[in-house]
């Protein structure tokens, strides 16, 4: 098989498929493997998959395992609700809730793929042409390489080239009108009062922030999301951002959140882009070509499951291919049928969460009262954390 894309989803797929006997050629367009520094949250549904793929021990060595998640009002600093994590999550769902630097997640998957064997990794290999017939797929790259295989997996992200072979009359991703300011720094660089070993979500009118520990708790990842637009090409996803601009956009923040924003001088800015939730299985696969992760179902970060759904996709794909390895189109149909509704539900829930986080006025007051009364019952997501 050929996999286009060497990010977290592509590497997870390479590992999962190599473990069930598939020979993999993974094509990465960049000249080196790597991930831009931000953090990700992995719910127990995802950690269980990573355990199954044999990287659970490595994950726990470099990640943080926060004891709880708390929600606060960003304009008053009042704590509204708490969801126990740690052993509570292990007992309830069979695995912990983990927070990790994206680069660390990428590195441990890359090392696992190399250790597993069965996968050839090709750098500087941007796909420029794709074809398929009844028996195989063919991929040509910018380096004049040509790869022929029984199937092609598009794990090439939001602006996927492979997607064009699967989704008829496709449209460009949509700009959400939300901006994400991100920073990750050693906790030792912060005043002791701003260091944290838990996940904290701050909800404000038309903005919110989330921060959590990574790198065994030694670093803090901070994300602030506001309403707004930036000029320039939306495909250029990493922009220099100005700390002053963020402080102005979040001028209503109070207490520790305000102090944290003023304690950090270096921020990176991402304009958030997504697609409508998936509407049919055909958006996941066609013939001998399948899509995974953001290539199929890019989602807003308000359920912290973007990377998680790509990793779940990878495991499901490997399972389907292991059952009938000689019947690729049928296996990909089963994969699409298994995954599209769950991915669509996560996409829709993430959109809804963003609306709830950014409520203002009377609706904000109602949200806060509900969180105070119901707390963990509103914050827990059993249908998600129990796994597909």
| Residue 336 burial by Cβ neighbours in a 10 Å radius (0-12, 13-18, 19+) | buried
Its pTM surpasses 0.85: yes
Confirm whether 168 is domain-assigned. yes
How many other CB atoms sit within 10 Å of the CB of residue 77? 15
At 136, which helix (H) or strand (E)?
none
Confirm whether 20 is domain-assigned. yes
| pLDDT tens, N- to C-terminus, the chain (388 residues) | 999 999 999 999 999 999 999 999 999 999 998 776 689 999 999 999 999 999 999 999 999 999 999 999 999 999 999 999 999 999 999 999 999 999 999 999 999 999 999 999 999 999 999 999 999 999 999 989 999 999 999 999 999 999 999 999 999 999 999 999 999 999 999 999 999 999 999 999 999 999 999 999 999 999 999 998 876 654 554 555 688 889 999 999 999 999 999 999 989 888 899 999 999 999 999 999 999 999 999 999 999 999 999 999 999 999 999 988 789 999 999 999 999 999 999 999 999 999 999 999 999 999 999 999 999 999 999 999 999 8
Confirm whether 137 is domain-assigned. yes
Confirm whether 207 is domain-assigned. no
DSSP letters of 321-352? Answer: HHH-TT-HHHHHHHHHHHHHHHHHHHHHHHHH
Question: Three-state DSSP class for 9?
Answer: helix
Per-residue confidence (pLDDT) for residue 324, from 0 to 100: 82
Per-residue confidence (pLDDT) for residue 325, from 0 to 100: 78
Task: State the Cα–Cα distance between residues 171 and 178, nearest whole angstrom.
Answer: 20
Confirm whether 330 is domain-assigned. yes
**Dihedral, CA of residue 375, residue 379, residue 385 and residue 386, to nearest 10:** 50
Per-residue confidence (pLDDT) for residue 155, from 0 to 100: 98
Task: State the Cα–Cα distance between residues 370 and 266, nearest whole angstrom.
Answer: 35
In the chain, % helix, strand, coil (3-state, to 5) comes to 40, 25, 35
What range defines the domain where residue 160 resides?
Answer: 2-36+104-172+276-356
Write down the residue that tokens 């990640």 correspond to. 63
- Strand 137-141 and strand 285-286: the pairing is unpaired
Residue in 166, 347, 349 with CA at minimum distance from that of residue 273: 347
Per-residue confidence (pLDDT) for residue 233, from 0 to 100: 58
User: Could you give the number of structural domains in the chain?
Assistant: 1
Write down the residue that tokens 């207490």 correspond to. 255
Q: What is the CA radius of gyration of the chain?
A: 21
Residue in 336, 332, 334, 344 with CA at minimum distance from that of residue 279: 344
Confirm whether 87 is domain-assigned. no
Residue in 349, 352, 351, 354 with CA at minimum distance from that of residue 384: 349
Residue in 82, 46, 42 with CA at minimum distance from that of residue 64: 42
Confirm whether 342 is domain-assigned. yes
Query: Where residue 168 sits, what CATH number does that domain have?
Result: 3.50.50.60
Per-residue confidence (pLDDT) for residue 237, from 0 to 100: 43
277-320 confidence digits (pLDDT tens): 999 999 999 999 999 999 999 999 999 999 999 999 999 999 99
Per-residue confidence (pLDDT) for residue 239, from 0 to 100: 52
Task: State the Cα–Cα distance between residues 217 and 40, nearest whole angstrom.
Answer: 13
Per-residue confidence (pLDDT) for residue 2, from 0 to 100: 98
Q: Are 84 and 67 in contact (CB under 8 A)?
A: yes
Per-residue confidence (pLDDT) for residue 241, from 0 to 100: 63
Confirm whether 382 is domain-assigned. no
Task: State the Cα–Cα distance between residues 17 and 86, nearest whole angstrom.
Answer: 31
């Amino acid at each position: 098989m050929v996999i286009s894309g060497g990010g977290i989803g592509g590497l997870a797929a390479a590992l999962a498929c190599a473990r069930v006997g598939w020979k993999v050629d993974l094509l990465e367009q960049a000249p080196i493997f790597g991930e831009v520094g931000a953090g990700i949250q992995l719910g127990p549904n995802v950690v269980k998959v990573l355990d199954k793929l044999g990287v659970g021990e490595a994950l726990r060595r470099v990640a943080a395992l926060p004891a709880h998640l708390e929600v606060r009002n960003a304009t008053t600093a009042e704590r509204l609700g708490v969801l126990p994590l740690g052993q509570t999550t292990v007992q309830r769902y069979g695995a912990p809730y983990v927070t990790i630097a994206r680069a660390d997640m990428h590195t441990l998957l890359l090392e696992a793929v190399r250790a597993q064997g069965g996968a050839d990794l090709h750098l500087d290999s941007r796909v420029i042409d794709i074809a398929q017939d009844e028996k195989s797929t063919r991929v040509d790259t910018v380096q004049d390489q040509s790869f022929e295989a029984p199937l092609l997996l598009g794990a090439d992200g939001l602006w996927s080239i492979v997607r064009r072979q699967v989704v008829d009359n496709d449209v460009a991703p949509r700009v959400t009108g939300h901006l994400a300011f991100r920073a990750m720094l050693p906790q030792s660089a912060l005043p002791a009062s701003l260091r944290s070993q838990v996940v904290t979500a701050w909800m404000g009118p038309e903005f919110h922030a989330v921060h959590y520990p990574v790198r065994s708790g030694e670093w803090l990842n901070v994300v602030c999301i506001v309403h707004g637009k930036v000029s320039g090409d939306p495909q250029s996803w990493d922009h220099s951002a100005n700390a002053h601009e963020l402080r102005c956009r979040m001028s209503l923040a109070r207490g520790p959140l305000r102090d944290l924003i003023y304690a950090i001088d270096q921020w990176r800015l991402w304009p958030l882009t997504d697609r409508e939730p998936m509407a049919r299985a055909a958006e996941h696969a066609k013939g001998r070509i399948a899509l995974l992760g953001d290539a199929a179902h890019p989602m807003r970060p308000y359920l912290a499951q973007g990377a998680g759904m790509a990793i779940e996709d990878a495991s499901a794909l490997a399972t389907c291919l292991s059952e009938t390895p000689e019947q690729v189109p049928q296996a990909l149909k089963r994969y699409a049928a298994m995954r599209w509704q769950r991915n669509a539900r996560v996409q829709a829930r993430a959109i809804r969460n963003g609306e709830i986080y950014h409520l203002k006025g009377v609706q904000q007051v109602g949200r806060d009262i509900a969180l105070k009364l119901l707390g963990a019952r509103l914050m827990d997501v059993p249908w998600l954390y129990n796994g597909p």
